[in-house]
Amino acid sequence: MRSKVIAGNWKMNKDLGESEKLIKDLKMSLNFDLGGTRVIICPPYPSLALAAKLLEGTSIELGAQNMYTENEGAFTGEVSPKMLKAAGCKYVILGHSERRQYFAESNEFINTKARKALSSGLIPIICVGETLEEREKNITDQIVSVQVKACLKEIAAADIERVIVAYEPVWAIGTGKNATPQQAQDVHRLIRKLVSQLYSIQVADRVIIQYGGSVKPDNSADLLHQPDIDGALVGGACLKADSFAGIIRAAASSGKK
Ligand code: PGA
């Protein structure tokens, strides 16, 4: 039985005051039964400690958008898993396509970060997904397989069930063009199959696989009804409390599997 997991990736949006407002608005908007749906927000680093405080006593959980592989030291500009834990984070997004594209993050580096996150007690949300060019060349499965295998490399069987995989086709991120439910389901099924080959069918059955890329209140129900889509990683639509709440409502009413 996999519960739905909806995570909001705020990206580089919302200063401290704006973060406070959005969190307060979100708390007011989530005035319905979540039906077991897990809700996570991932604000920028400077807002994390404040967010943790504002989320106390709520069922909304906290995540960060990135981290480095060491706990401390001379790594100017970086933030460690230890710092994220101390700030109140339970999750960390790793390998987002914007990190891959603008900061040249490789699968190997993302894998090192994922293993460090797990050994630090953080749950990594590992992002994979093909570009438009790769989809048009019909090599989506190949690209996603390489990413999944490399990003999960040497993650122990005992840890894998804590990992969340987010399938985010790059061409659907921030473009308003979401994958059709069937296109997304096909890749989610592939990812679950890969996890079953790398670990076991039982493990694959429990791993959460989110879809991300232009998820909005009006397309979320169809996506979330797909058998292998266990939630959403939401960018643009999580910056407004009512639209993020609309997606969470769709997840809550899609029920548990
Ligand atoms: P989007 O972003 O919802 O704005 O497409 C999703 C993401 O990048 O995680």
| Domain ranges (residues) in the chain | 5-254
Residue 178 binned pLDDT confidence (cut-offs 50, 70, 90): confident
Residue 166 and residue 128 in contact, taking contact as beta carbons nearer than 8 Å: yes
26 CB contacts (<8 Å, ≥6 apart)?
41, 60, 241, 244, 245
Report CA(11)–ligand 1 centroid distance (Å): 9
Structure tokens at 117: 């996150």
Nearest residue (CA) to ligand 1, atom 7: 235
Q: What is the pLDDT of residue 175?
A: 87
Task: Summarize pLDDT for 4-21 with one digit per residue, the tens.
Answer: 999 999 999 999 999 999
Catalytic residue among 105, 130, 134, 168: 168
231 CB contacts (<8 Å, ≥6 apart)?
4, 5, 6, 7, 37, 38, 164, 208, 210, 211, 224, 251
Instruction: Tell me, yes or no, if 96 is annotated catalytic.
Output: yes
CA distances from residue 120 to 89, 92, 112, 160 in whole angstroms, order as listed: 11, 11, 12, 14
Q: What is the total residue count of the chain?
A: 257
Choose the residue to mutate in 234, 238, 239 for probing ligand 1, maximizing ligand atoms within 8 Å of C-beta: 234
Helix (H) or strand (E) holding 145: helix 140-152
Residue 154 binned pLDDT confidence (cut-offs 50, 70, 90): very high
Which residues are registered as beta bridge partners of 42? 9
Q: Rounded to 5 degrees, what angle do the CA atoms 55, 62, 230 make?
A: 120
Instruction: Tell me, yes or no, if 168 is annotated catalytic.
Output: yes
Q: Residue 182 gets which letter from DSSP?
A: H
Classify domain 5-254 by CATH architecture. Answer: Alpha-Beta Barrel (3.20)
Per DSSP (E only), the strands in 139-183 are: 164-167
Choose the residue to mutate in 10, 42, 97, 168 for probing ligand 1, maximizing ligand atoms within 8 Å of C-beta: 168
Q: Rounded to 5 degrees, what angle do the CA atoms 153, 37, 222 make?
A: 85
CA distances from residue 179 to 54, 172, 185, 200 in whole angstroms, order as listed: 34, 7, 9, 28
Residue 174 binned pLDDT confidence (cut-offs 50, 70, 90): confident
Residues within a 6 A CB radius of ligand 1: 9, 168, 173-174, 212-215, 233-237
**How far, rounded to the nearest angstrom, does the alpha carbon of residue 241 sit from its chain's CA centroid?**
18
Percent of the chain with pLDDT over 70: 99
pTM greater than the 0.85 cutoff: yes
Q: Of 193, 181, 195, 194, which Cα lies nearest the Cα of 229?
A: 181
Sign of CA dihedral 133, 138, 144, 149: negative
Task: Summarize pLDDT for 218-248 with one digit per residue, the tens.
Answer: 999 999 999 999 999 999 999 999 999 999 9
Asked whether the predicted pLDDT for residue 257 surpasses 70, the reply is: no
